[in-house]
Amino acid sequence: MNKSVILLQEAAQGSPYQSLIMFGLIGIVFYFFMIRPQMKRTKEAKNFRESLSQGDQVVTIGGIHGKVLEISDTTVLISSEGSKLRVEKSALSASANDQLAAQRR
């Protein structure tokens, strides 16, 4: 009985390299499924905000649809059903045309 306990303990410990390889694989999977897609979305959002021009139809994060009237360094003036709103560029989520195209798919 004592001999079987020792054998089980040796089998449970394994090689220290196995645990390092396992952590490395977990890190790689985490990078490809979590970090890389988030970096891609951030880059696309930055490109969208930099390419804004007057007359573009946009949607804010809050769901307000409007037309771009004026663009400054950090803010955008949009018109929505007769109202004018000044919002931060970071509050714009997408182009209204892109969102409509995505809904039709």
What is the percent of the chain where pLDDT is above 90? 45
Integer Cα distance of 69 and 6 in angstroms = 76
Per residue in 48-98, pLDDT tens?
A: 888 898 999 999 988 899 999 999 989 999 998 989 999 999 899 877 666
- Topology of the domain covering 53-105: SH3 type barrels. (2.30.30)
| Number of Cβ atoms within 10 Å of the Cβ of 37 | 11
pLDDT for res 3 = 54
Domain boundaries, the chain: 1-51, 53-105
- Please state whether the predicted TM-score (pTM) of the whole model is above 0.75: no
